[in-house]
Structure 1
Amino acid sequence: MLSPLLLLSLVAVSLASPLGRGLGDFQVKHAWDAVPAGWEYHSPAPADHVLHMHFALKQGKFDELLRHLAEVSEPQHERYGQHLSKEEVDALVAPHPDTLSTVEGWLAAHGLDPENAIHRSSSGDSITLKVSVSQAEKLLDSKYNVYRAKDDSEYVVRTMGYSLPEALHDHINLVSPTTYFGGLQRMKTTSFVEPDAPTVESADESDFAIPPASCNTVITPECLRVLYNTAGYTPSAKRTSLGVVGYLEEYASNADLRTFLSRFRSDLAGTTFSTVRVNGGGNNQSDPGVEANLDIQYTVGLSGPIPNTYYSTGGRPPFVPDSTTPTNTNEPYLDWLNFILGQKTIPHVFTTSYGEPEQTIPKDYAITVCNRFAELGARGSSIFFSSGDFGVGGGDCLTNDGTNVRRFQPTFPAGCPFVTAVGGTVGTNPETTVGFTGGGFSNLFPRPKYQDAAVTGYLGAIGNSNAGLFNNTGRGYPDVAAQGRGFQVVVAGRVISVGGTSASSPTIAAIFALLNDYRISRGGGPLGFLNPLIYSTARTGFNDITTGNNPGCGTNGFAARAGWDPATGFGTPDFVKLQALV
């Protein structure tokens, strides 16, 4: 049954038009100039094909949320560390009543009942409804088609552009699925198997004074513990927690973790992790994933016995082009964020080893996702993302705005200012930039205040190098770095070598989980959103990487230098130094 408020809204809208055109003419929300690279038109979408359509509403007091986030994340502020509760965040992001009444009235005028939503966030800022293609086309003045990925058999139902009535642009931040073509297959860009790299079946776990020479080519937990100075610290199993976010039907294997620990961290034998299934995510223990095993083996191997949770996130139900009724969404960031923001208790640290070229992400989608990472930060969680594996850009590096200009191609979500992006290094004496590490400057997000001094210092030092190829006013990334080659990972009982900033991000996440444990043991709280800390009082707690670069787009990319740089950030962590700084 519709609420009285909704009925009143429906009457008001209906007086103007049965389809809500009294809200003004349609205006474009987002549109592509051409089918995004890697995709091709296949066929019209069946009219009765069902979409799980997500409406992200304008958040009533988001600017106030950002003020709170800045205060609780700034080490010099009197509120530092006083993070908000779920209820406090919900109150800040709840839509204004006018937004709710206007949007719900518009939906009802199109025969959609918000009271029967598949999902409604606890703050009310997002609504997910079952919407047929024919309804969506009328709702959004759009045309949906089936598109096929050129290099595999993945199909998605998307539109090249969508519009909203003029008055709704002030009330709706995002409607999806619409123009985000990423698809899960496009996300897995930050790890790769190294088939010709050396492997070891076990590691000497004796106390090293310095990393052994083997760590130059083969990385084990013991290499990282010595290199980053955590070997002398024993955490508790009760003070903090760590979450690994997984996609792409990647499953973390309990049996492989047991084998990994027996070979590389025998003192943690018996340590396990929990799995939480999100949006139909699976947990097929007979089909372990390289990415999932890499992440969980190194977060557990470095942070155990701190509790680790693997979030197996679905979002890729099979779509057959001639089917008529199955649902198909393929937008996993929002699926996971909707889930985790609805939880009363969440881990203090999250790591995610996925990303996509920023220019493939519609602006409305990217901003909505990025802002929700800010919500997690305000609640006291640190969010790490790998920076990517294509230097300053892969492929032809041409812009997709119709101009075909060669530009560096930053990565999303690494370029979001509310996450901590992790680049890659290689070698131990000394560490240097690994050539594939992603880094650069966002074209979507402006440079945040917390990194003004560091970034302007770097830009001043490089002068006109790469001029015109990047946005010198954008958010610079990565923020920090860690080893990125030769990680020994057990998959289906066999040790393989894996590289990528996918290895770097869980490494850093585990070290900050240890720092949270230490801080809480001293009566403090979790560190939460880290970047204001990293760019101020904690910058001296990292090993500065001053050699190497991240080539791409036909250039040498950005060179590492003293201080922050868009190849390795402030460098790799020294746990003991950071203990003294947090």
Structure 2
Amino acid sequence: MLSTTIRGSRVLVAAIVACTSVSAFADAERIGPVAADQAISTTVLFQARDEAGLARFVREVSTPGPHYHHFLSTTDFRQRFGATAQDIARVIDYARANGLTVTKRYENGLAVQFSGPAASVEQAFNVEIANYAAPDTDSPSMPFYKPARAPSLPAAFSDSHVLAVAGLSNQRHARSMATDVRHAAHVEGRGGRFRADLDTSNEPGELTVQDVARLYNVAPLYRQGLRGEGVTIGIATYASFLPSDAETYWQRIGLETKPDRITQIAVAGGGEYGDDAGTGETTLDVEQSGGLAPQADIRVYVAPNTDSGELALFNRIVSDNDVDVLSYSWGISEVGSLPSVFGTGADASAQALNQLLMEAAAQGISTFVAAGDAGGYDVNDQRNPSLAYPTIAKVASVDLPAASPYVTAAGGTTLPFSARYRCARNPGDVVPVRVNAEQAWSLSYFSALSQLCGAATPADFGIFPEGGGGGVSSLFPVPFYQQGVDGIRKTPYNQALVDFDSLIFYGALPGGFAGRNVPDISMNADPYTGYTAYVTLDGGMTSGGGGTSYVAPQLAGMAALFNQATEARLGLLNPILYRALRDTGYATNSPFRDVTAGSNWFWQSRTGYDPATGIGTPDAARLLEAIQTTN
């Protein structure tokens, strides 16, 4: 991802490398220039007016006081915090003079989208754009374009408060936070059952939304008549799906849902369908959120999986302002946005996205984001082979946008289960696995099996670092609602991005930084105690699904019930969560259950808050009580 940043009158240019399924650090092969007439879409993003005032407003509207839950409309937001008409006009005039056409002016006043031939884009931003062969394990033959050298913004922009320009590359941007049991490919003979003290109807790996409702005490809300009526759930994603898949899933599990409630909305040319695009991700997001709130309406926003697509996606959602809760199960490693690693200005797009999430909170939209599936080592996700350990040094890191202070970051746990496994190469040797209490999700319980299978390390066996994302942001400071909370940690020391194969030192992460801690709250995400889904592309009904991709939409579904109960939007939920933690701890009336066992490979679960599972797991009925008594 490439962005250009202006701070004041000084032009700062930085290449922001996205840690996605496209390797950020492997050299892509240049295969020639883009055609001069190839259409390219770019988005200019403006810095919010009075950004400090916006942060102050979000705090006031999210905490009890005279402004509590007095949210803004999109028009209100534009008038108070959007770019000035003069700034927008100056950028539009320059773009048009260079052969670009305005294709979208977002209602929030923070972005303008342009389109034009590559030759005009190159002229406008003083850049050369070339085609490259993608070092992408998912789509090895798919080329992409990106700047062959660093771009620069014109002096005409220097007084226009431009924060970033996105779209100069169409390289795949974000990765899905879904996984399944196939990632432990060496394992055969999966089997087991839940302990008797868990109230579920199905076996591990075959859970449905009804099981989730029992496990996390959502069922009492249904008995109160709460089904999500009058509430709209938003799904932000990069692939279209078949609404009939979700409807089939709900029918198969015996769930009565509102008919004709799903609307798909293409953003900036989005709408790709297929396995590589992430259709399965979109499907499970709808099935889980819509299953827990069976009468809620669902709006699925689909954008291209590029940096420009991501920003267009969130700009459209907050500008429409039609959804009450929002689920997002994609992300990139924060490491790619750190100035300490990739130079001054590298955080431009991360800051632009964070602004949009601030707007969502100011407008009362509750946003839930998957915290990641690579444990405490987000950048080392095994699904990106060239970023995986031991090619790249182990780096304690977190995911974006889960690290934003303006979202609720959804972490992962493993439910209690017992099973017996064997290695494919030694079928006579059986290793029992037993998890006695809900614990932080990591596949470290397969360590004995990996040794039996002859793997030198858990990474060689393919289980490291799979687990619930969590840790400390190196980019965003600790937010007001986490200040003074016992268990909040600072960034660890001696974390550096080093490519051992190429002997390249990219940079060090700041140690001892008081950063935003992730996650906020967790639920079951382990595929071995995971879920069923219905996806036509995968052959219909499947089992063994997992990842924090399931937790974010589940929390969004619960929040839809909370919205119905209070007859109002709730906005950023985190201040309520941390206030409830301070007020009740883990007493019998607490809306949380503490998770004190396990780790996410780096961070250990402990009593109270920890960066492995956050506050713990929710008791939905008691959480609603805490919300209703907050004033």
User: Which TM bucket (shorter chain)?
Assistant: 0.7 to 0.9
* Counterpart for residue 532 of structure 2: 488
What secondary structure is seen at the aligned counterpart in 2 of 1:380? coil
What SS is found at the alignment partner of 1:275? strand
Residue type of the alignment partner of 2:441: V
Q: Which residue type is aligned with residue 614 of structure 2?
A: G
Give the TM-score taking structure 1 as reference length: 0.79
Match of 1:243 among 234, 242, 247: 234
Q: Could you say which residue in structure 2 is the equivalent of 1:315? A: 304
Residue 446 in structure 1 maps to residue 477 in structure 2: yes
Worse-superposed segment, 465-474 or 298-307: 465-474
Alignment of 1:113-512 (within 5 A): 116-150=101-135, 151=137, 152-159=140-147, 160-165=149-154, 168-170=157-159, 171-178=161-168, 183-184=172-173, 187-195=174-182, 210-212=198-200, 214=202, 216-234=204-222, 235-236=226-227, 238-247=229-238, 249-251=239-241, 253-268=242-257, 272-282=261-271, 289-311=279-301, 313-315=302-304, 331-343=308-320, 345-361=321-337, 362-393=346-377, 407-428=395-416, 430-435=437-442, 436-454=467-485, 457-459=487-489, 472-484=513-525, 485=527, 486-492=530-536, 493-512=540-559
**1:32–1:161 CA contact under 8 A, matched in 2:** no
Question: Using the alignment, how far apart are the partners of 1:227 and 1:396 within structure 2?
Answer: 31
Paired residues, number: 517
Greater displacement, 129-138 / 378-387: 129-138
Task: State the AA in 2 paired with 1:245.
Answer: A
Provide the C-alpha distance between the structure 1 equivalents of 2:294 and 2:9, rounded to a whole number of angstroms: 57
Distance 2:47 2:476 in 1: 18
CA distance in 1, matches of 2:198, 2:324: 30
Task: Report the alpha carbon displacement of residue 270 of structure 1 after superposing the two structures with TM.
Answer: 5.4
State the alpha-carbon separation in 1 of the partners of residues 219 and 393 from structure 2: 49
SS in structure 1 of the partner of residue 36 of structure 2:
coil
CA 273–169 in structure 1, closer or farther in 2 if over 3 Å, else same: same
Separation in 2, partners of 1:355, 1:38: 19
Shift of the 519–512 alpha-carbon distance from structure 1 to 2, 3 Å rule, reads: same
Unmatched 5+ residue regions in structure 1?
Answer: 1-22, 201-207, 317-328, 552-556
Aligned counterparts of 1:99 and 1:336: Cα–Cα separation in 2: 22
Residue identity opposite 2:521 in structure 1: V
Alignment partners' CA distance in 2, 1:370 and 1:212: 38
- Secondary structure of the corresponding residue to residue 490 of structure 1: strand
Give the C-alpha shift of residue 307 in structure 1. Answer: 1.9
Is this contact kept in 2: 1:191–1:291, CA < 8 A? yes
Q: Are the structure 2 counterparts of residues 147 and 408 from structure 1 closer, same or farther at C-alpha, using a change threshold of 3 Å?
A: farther
Aligned AA for 1:391? G
Q: Deviations over 1:145-199 (max 9, x none)?
A: 2223212223222125222245734521011123x67514xx2331123247999
Structure 2 CA distance for aligned equivalents of residues 95 and 172 of structure 1? 9
Distance in 1 of aligned mates of 2:156 and 2:202: 63
CA distance in 2, matches of 1:57, 1:240: 31
Amino acid at match of 1:351: S
Instruction: Give a deviation string over 1:39-96, Cα, whole Å, max 9, x none.
Output: 503223333322111111232233322222111101x322211111121111123223
For the aligned residue pairs, the C-alpha RMSD in angstroms reads: 3.6
1:67 to 52, 56, 67: 56
Q: Quickly say closer, same or farther: Cα 1:466–1:299, change in 2 above 3 A.
A: same
The 3 A distance-change label for structure 1 pair 471 and 39 is farther
CA contact (8 A) 2:11 2:153 kept: yes
Tell me the amino acid that sits aligned with residue 213 of structure 2: R
Distance 2:544 2:16 in 1: 39
CA 1:142–1:24 in structure 2 vs 1: closer, same or farther (change >3 Å)? farther
When residues 109 and 412 of structure 1 are mapped into structure 2, their CA distance, relative to the original with a 3 A threshold, is same
In 2 relative to 1, CA 137–261 (structure 1 residues): closer, same or farther, beyond 3 Å? closer
Structure 2, unaligned runs of 5 or more = 1-6, 338-345, 417-435, 443-466, 497-507, 583-589
User: Aligned partner of 1:459: which letter?
Assistant: R
User: What one-letter code is carried by the residue in structure 2 that aligns with 1:488?
Assistant: T
Give the letter aligned to residue 572 of structure 2.
Answer: F
* 1:279 counterpart SS class: coil
**1:250–1:98 distance in 2 versus 1, CA, 3 Å:** closer
Q: Distance in 2 between matches of 1:240 and 1:433?
A: 32
| Contact 1:30/1:161 (<8 A) preserved | yes
- Change over 3 Å in CA distance of 1:308–1:111 after alignment to 2: closer
Alpha-carbon contact 1:39-1:148 (below 8 Å) kept:
no
Partner of 1:564: 609
Deviation of 1:331 (Å) = 2.8
CA–CA separation in structure 2 for the residues paired with 1:26 and 1:463 = 33
Contact 1:370 1:413 in 2 (8 A): yes
Matches within 5 A, 1:46-61: 46-61=35-50
| Separation (CA, whole Å) in 1 of partners of 2:362 and 2:387 | 34
Is the strand fraction higher in 1 or 2? 2
Q: Output the TM-score relative to the length of structure 2.
A: 0.74
Write the deviation string for residues 468-496 of structure 1: whole angstroms up to 9, x where unpaired.
97553221111111111321112223333
**CA positional deviation for 1:383:** 0.6
How far did residue 396 of structure 1 move?
Answer: 5.5
Moved more, 486-495 or 261-270: 261-270
Q: Percent identity?
A: 26
Q: Is 1:516 the equivalent of 2:563?
A: yes
Give, in angstroms, the shift of residue 538 of structure 1.
5.5
Task: Give me the whole-angstrom Cα distance separating, in 2, the residues matched to 1:438 and 1:516.
Answer: 27
Deviation at 1:302, TM superposition (A): 1.1
Task: Name the counterpart of 2:87.
Answer: 99
Supply the distance in 1 between the matched residues of 2:210 and 2:111 (Cα, whole angstroms): 44
Q: Matched residue of 2:624: which SS? A: helix
Deviations 1:525-574 (A, max 9, x none): 211111222221366422111111112xxxxx011112211111111110
Contact 1:280/1:315 (8 A) holds in 2:
yes
Measured against aligned partners, the alpha-carbon deviations of 1:286-311 in whole angstroms (never above 9, x if no partner) come to: 99932122111111221111222222
Q: Secondary structure at the match of 1:342?
A: helix
Please give the alpha-carbon distance, in whole angstroms, between the structure 2 residues aligned to 1:351 and 1:458: 25
Secondary structure of 1:505's aligned partner? helix
- Which SS does the other structure have where 1:233 is aligned? helix
* Residues 364-373 or 63-72, more deviating: 63-72
**What amino acid is the match of 1:434?**
W
